[in-house]
Amino acid sequence: MTEIQTLPTRPIEGQKPGTSGLRKKTAVFRQTPYLENYVQAIFEGIGGIEGQVLVVGGDGRYFNDRAIGVILRMAAAHGAARCIVGRGGLLSTPAASHLIRSRKADGGLILSASHNPGGPEADFGLKYNGPNGGPASESVTEKIFARTRDLQHYLIWSGEAPDISRLGTASLGAMEVEVIDPIGDYADLMARLFDFDAIRGLIAGGFRLRFDAMHAITGPYAQEILERRLGAPAGSVVNGTPLPDFGGGHPDPNPIWAHELMAAMHAPNAPDFGAASDGDGDRNMIVGRGCYVSPSDSLAVLADLAHLAPGYAQGLKGVARSMPTSCAVDRVAEAKGIACYETPTGWKFFGTLLDAGRATLCGEESAGTGSDHVREKDGLWAVLLWLNILAVTGKSVAALMADHWARYGRNYYSRHDYEEVDAAAATALIDDLRARLPELAGARFGALAVARADEFAYDDPVDGSHAAGQGLRVFFENGARVVFRLSGTGTAGATLRVYLESLETDPEKLHQDPQDALAEVIMAADAIAGIAARTGRAAPDVVT
């Protein structure tokens, strides 16, 4: 006979959620009761789920289906009324956010480690999203973490979870499990936001596109929208089948990991437009023929021209960017006379601004862009907005970028990642630099003089919450800046991220290689923090 089981457990160290939930090696999550403990802490940390409706789904990485079985059995034991699950356990992160909002669910559990690799030896993750469809707030994740530290038991239904490979409704105890098409509702939402007729016309006129889904969750969504609804030829979506290990690749849409797309877009017979998305579908990369668009520049262009799409024809209420993201969008906002908010890294910090109607468009330098249509960044949404703009203007990606820089200047920008650095060494680097910030003003590093330096903190203008320790900033007298942060998205060691930026308004200098344009800032960053000496790394692992 099936019944609710109360099984003893004890706290497990290290279950502190980061900017997007808890991420660890897959092998860690597979060790009972690691997953069970964290799910129990989520349910208790949010005040219980009795009678609630939850959305559950993930990016299809290894362990996704088995983890969902555990979550469903625990939700039933905790008295949830219904769990809405994507068929096969699949849901892109933006589609899950939309589903929470459109079905008025009480929240959702999204299984993903985003752009991190997948497989038995790779990474896994789980996060809770609230009833607004967005990542849990800092106060909620603190409550969840607090519960992980004093758990004594967890509840789980002893019977097997229902088959989630077929559409329909089944029962698990008193709880309903509703298995739904993970694609249709999201595709319909995109059709309401964008001029699909204009995009169809563009494609019918010979415009060629290539979308690299990187064997991740966005493949089926892109095939449905780009190929079936918009008429792109079959095969325009490549690597479109989600695989548990993402085909052995790294599902991070940047020029390093999406090198096949970059090669195709710089080939003699390149398509007109290229794009890629990541593991869970919330990030994007935009490439024109021979023209890579940085995420920061993409955000600025979309903010400038979003009104060309029907869903944004009335203009933007405001824009928001994470602090490390370049200031290119700030210049657009100033020209349009709309508010521009600077927040900490992490999409949850945009949620209050979106809910309050203060911002319409948001973006992060880590290839995340989105709007108030959901409460997550959305890779395919960004691709469709670019296509809508291209269809209306009739210009190429390269021409749009040249126009933008001529009008606003170019914020040369790059991020240097030092991955899996010894955690103690990386922490010491940040701690020592933090202590030296007050004495940096006036110091010279090569050709650059420091104007000021600080540690970024944020006071939310809507709910008044305070977030401290959000990155170390050094501003130079010529307007350039460098930011140092330790990333919260890795699963081994520490990732030191160094963000470099310099504004150029001279028309003769708008088409340089960013690394050349930023050479003085790069040298100053190493001199200020002693990166090479402290980490033992002569160069970053990834440059974007």
Torsion sign, CA atoms 418, 422, 426, 429: negative
Distances (CA, A) of 323 to 40, 288, 525: 33, 27, 17
Q: Are 359 and 372 in contact (CB under 8 A)?
A: yes
Longest dimension (CA), the chain: 77
Structure tokens at 360: 């319409």
Instruction: Please give the Cα distance from 455 to 484 (Å, whole number).
Output: 10
Q: What are phi and psi of 254, to 5 degrees?
A: -140, 170
Q: Enter the DSSP assignment of 233.
A: P
Q: Which residues contact 66 (CB under 8 A, 6 or more apart)?
A: none
- Single out the catalytic residue among 92, 97, 114, 296: 114
* H runs (alpha helix) in 394-513: 397-408, 423-436
Q: What are phi and psi of 133, to 5 degrees?
A: 90, 0
β-bridge partners, 411: 503
- Active-site residue flag, 277: no
User: What DSSP assignment string belongs to 316-381?
Assistant: -SEEEEETTS-THHHHHHHHHT-EEEEE-SSTHHHHHHHHTTS-SEEEETTTEEEETTSSS--HHH
Instruction: Please give the Cα distance from 16 to 138 (Å, whole number).
Output: 11
Q: Which residues contact 186 (CB under 8 A, 6 or more apart)?
A: 92, 94, 95, 98, 99, 221
Q: Enter the DSSP assignment of 21.
A: B
Active site residues: 114
